[in-house]
Structure 1
Amino acid sequence: MLRRRMLIMLGVVVLVVLLLAGYKAWSIYQQIQQFSAPKPAVAVPVAVATEQPWQSRLPAIGSLKALQGVDLSLEIAGTVKAVLFESGQQVKAGQALLQLDSDVEKALLGTAEADLGLAQVEHGRGSRLVGDQAISKGDFDKLAAQLKKSSATVAQLNASLAKKRILAPFSGTIGIRQVDVGDYLASGKVIATLQDLSSLYVDFNVPEQALPKLAVGQVAQISVAAYPQQTFDAKISAINPKVDDATRNVLIRATLPNPDSKLLPGMFASVQVLLPGAKSQIVVPEGAITYTLYGNSVYAVVAKKDAKGESQSVVERRFVETGEHRDGHVIVSKGLKAGEQVVSGGQLKLNEGSHVAVTPDQNLAPAQNSPSGAN
């Protein structure tokens, strides 16, 4: 009886072990089937490598300067009698801007003019008398010297009066005034700035190695922080004939039309000098390039047949040589051909040979998402 019970228990244990082994084998089989099943395609955005004309540019940074610009100041001290301009006013060349008190100089000028009139009369009378030999030649010379002295005194006082006022040296826009009526101004005191904004100079430096690429008349595109979406065309007007000893850079000046007076002197300018000889280059979006320490690469989308003989899109990693970056695009000088599709985002979830589902890159223009849009 005991033996029978032991056999029954042993049979139950064996049955349980067999059931557990069968369940484990079934689980392993399911896992094998799961891993052996084809992975779903990874949806990635793609763009087309296009061949486009690429204008080479020489980048630089510079600053804007007025075609003419001065700080208006006084040569002599005095009290302000009249301010003849308003801040920000457009003024013409020769227009009076400020008048100092000049009553003393005017009184002295009246005296000097009276002395000059008397000297002229005496000189005229003496010239007749010396002809009649009524006076000596020496007396006539004294009368001539007195006339010259009186004329010089009048001229001196007129010059002093002229320094009592400031005239606009050229047409332009005057700045914020720094003086008021009644102020006593010392010599050299700046009353305002005057800037001719009809055109501007753009001064920038380039390395001496770039000199053979530059010439007077070349176009330079200017951009400033105040108008980030706009560029302004300038032309190189002068190249400094000397290389700076400390930096080995050359100062370049370009002239920039400014009819709307949108740009102001002193602005920081980003300069792109257009170099001659535009070439066709293979261009891709910057997002398509994976940058690593051992080289730059892209994932190119190629067609490949699966085990069932059906065509599917897979990625192929290619190392490429890149060039200049501009406006979200980069030149690929080696490793890609025009018309090939490249993954432009989501590269981290890809490996060599990954099955992908191609979707157009929504951040690019339609022409850059299809081979027909290549230039």
Structure 2
Amino acid sequence: MKLLAASFVLLYLAGCSSPEKPIQTEPPVAVTIARPGSMGASAITVSGQVEAAQTAAISTRIMGYITKMNVKAGDRVHTGQLLFSVSNEDLQAKRAQADAQIVQAEAQLQNAKKDYDRFTALYKQQSATEKELENIQLQYNAAKAGAEAARQVRNEVNASFAYTNVVAPFDGIISAKNADAGSIANPGMPVLTLEASKGFRVAAGIPESQIADLSIGTPATITLKSIGRVFTGTVAEINPSSSVSGGQYPVKINIPADQYKGLYAGMYANIFIKSKSNKPDKEADDRILIPVSAVVHTDQLTGIYTIGENNKAVLRWIRLGEQYGNEVEVLSGLGKDESFIVNADGRLYNGAGVIVK
């Protein structure tokens, strides 16, 4: 009986057991690999700053207290908009003085005209000499000139009134305010700085050893790390003198209109320009460049994926240098002859199986 019971137990356990299931693994990720590149020829790599294409220092031509300030830094203004007003009490006094001078000059002119008409009649009657008529005519002409001078003084004063209400010369943004209401405005002293709201360019300095390789219209790759933008501009201005810029030749690079959105004057930019001389450059040839798109960012570290043993993805930490357009220099962590993964058709992680396309 015991033997029979044991047999039933073995049969029961055998019925409850099932074949062992194979461990499922993820299919390998198809990847594309490449080797680092290099510049191979001399290139111009400098830093610059974004600036407005049009900038104006707003001041007034008269001296006086600023009675009203209508804007502050960061305000957007339109052409003809009142920016600030300057006291005009002195001008009002000058205009009153000019008006009085006009009254006096016109009175003198009327008297001179009467004398001229009377002596003209006397001369025709041969009761006055030609010399007397000439003297009276000179007095009359002087009186006319005096009256005209007085009227022009009043016109000048009236024109000065326009400078007591300073308006915006074009649409833009107030980038600096150097005075407030109550401050004294002096002629030529910038009170506000206005930057055009449309139109940007990059200002940079080119060393004298490379300025000969640059010309108007040369394409330039501009990288703005702060906003993660890369685009191509063109060299628009080259200053042929470096006498006031410490040996650096000022250059202006236009930014395409479709890239204006999100730009602010003062942003720092990295500029990469291929040399038109195409001369070999040992230093440039030694640079190890990889696509920016291949770089992996994890917390404060940067790396790239390589292929290790058994076709497994390996995340390797690297140290990066300058960015040149869509490529970035690798300072350490990757050799010139080592391959790395450029892109993948799926999600990569350390130890993921890969297959090279």
Shared fold per TM-score greater than 0.5: yes
Q: Which residue of the other structure, out of 307, 311, 324, is the alignment partner of 1:358? A: 311
Cα distance in 2, alignment partners of residues 204 and 272 from structure 1 = 11
Matches of residues 122-161 of structure 1 in structure 2 within 5 Å?
123=109, 130=116, 133-134=119-120, 136-161=136-161
Match of 2:66 among 64, 80, 87: 80
1:132-151 alpha-carbon deviations (Å, 9 max, x no partner): 74481122122123123302
Distance 1:221 1:97 in 2: 38
Q: Distance in 2 between matches of 1:139 and 1:167?
A: 45
- How big is each residue's C-alpha offset from its partner over 1:179-207, in whole Å with a ceiling of 9 and x where there is no partner? 44445556665433211242233222334
Question: Partners in 2 of 1:67 and 1:94 — Cα distance?
Answer: 20
Question: What residue number does 1:236 align with?
Answer: 235
Matches within 5 A, 1:150-229: 150-175=150-175, 177-185=177-185, 190-211=190-211, 213-227=213-227, 229=228
Alignment check: 8 A CA contact 1:197 1:258 kept: no
Q: Which amino acid aligns with 2:231?
A: F
Letter of the structure 2 residue corresponding to residue 84 of structure 1: N
Structure 2: how far apart are the matches of 1:55 and 1:73?
49
AA of the residue aligned to 1:108:
K
**CA distance change for structure 1 residues 46 and 202 in 2, over 3 Å: closer, same or farther?**
closer
Quote the residue 2:9 is aligned against. none
Q: CA offsets per residue over residues 104-132 of structure 1, 9 Å max, x none? A: 42243144235436645764785686467
Q: Provide the C-alpha distance between the structure 1 equivalents of 2:172 and 2:244, rounded to a whole number of angstroms.
A: 36
- Mapped to 1, the partners of 2:85 and 2:177 lie a distance apart of 14
Could you give the per-residue CA deviations for residues 276-323 of structure 1, whole angstroms, max 9, x where no partner exists? 699xxxxxxxxxxxxxxxxxxxxxxxxxxxxxxxxxxxxxxxxxx993
1:61 aligns to what SS in structure 2? Answer: strand
CA-CA distance at 1:246 after TM superposition:
9.6
Write the mapping of 1:319-358 to structure 2, written as runs, cut at 5 A: 323=285, 325=287, 328=290, 344=306, 356-358=309-311
Structure 2 alignment gaps of length 5 or more: 1-30, 121-134, 293-304, 316-340, 346-354
The verdict on how the C-alpha distance between 1:100 and 1:152 changes in structure 2, with shifts beyond 3 A counting, is same
Between the aligned partners of 1:210 and 1:141, the Cα distance in structure 2 is: 68
- 8 A Cα contact 2:112 2:136, kept in partner: no
Task: Determine if contact 1:46/1:358 at 8 Å carries over to the other structure.
Answer: no
Indicate the SS of the match to 2:148.
Answer: helix
Deviation at 1:174, TM superposition (A): 1.5
Give the SS at the match of 1:273.
strand
Contact kept in structure 1, 2:62 and 2:187, CA below 8 Å:
yes
Name the CA shift for 1:164/1:220 in 2 (closer, same or farther; >3 Å).
Answer: same
TM-score, normalised relative to structure 2: 0.56
Q: Paired residue for 1:89? A: 75
TM-aligned CA deviation for residue 249 of structure 1: 4.8
Residues 202-255 of structure 1, C-alpha deviations (whole Å, 9 max, x = no match): 22233444345432112212223421x212332101223246699765432212
Q: Do the aligned partners of 2:242 and 2:248 also contact (CA within 8 Å) in 1?
A: yes
Q: Which whole-Å CA distance do the structure 2 matches of 1:159 and 1:198 have between them?
A: 31
Across the aligned residues of Structure 1 and Structure 2, the Cα RMSD in angstroms comes to 4.5
Q: 2:52·2:196 contact (CA, 8 Å) conserved in 1?
A: yes
Larger Rg: 1
Shift of the 85–261 alpha-carbon distance from structure 1 to 2, 3 Å rule, reads farther
In 2, distance between residues paired with 1:65 and 1:249?
18
Distance in 2 (alpha carbons) for counterparts of 1:207 and 1:64? 19
Unpaired runs of 5+ residues, structure 1, are 1-44, 279-320, 331-342, 347-355, 368-372
More strand by share: 1
Amino acid across the alignment from 1:83: M
CA deviation after TM superposition for structure 1 residue 96, in Å:
2.8
Answer yes or no: is the 8 Å Cα contact 1:46–1:361 preserved in 2: no
1:323 maps to amino acid: D
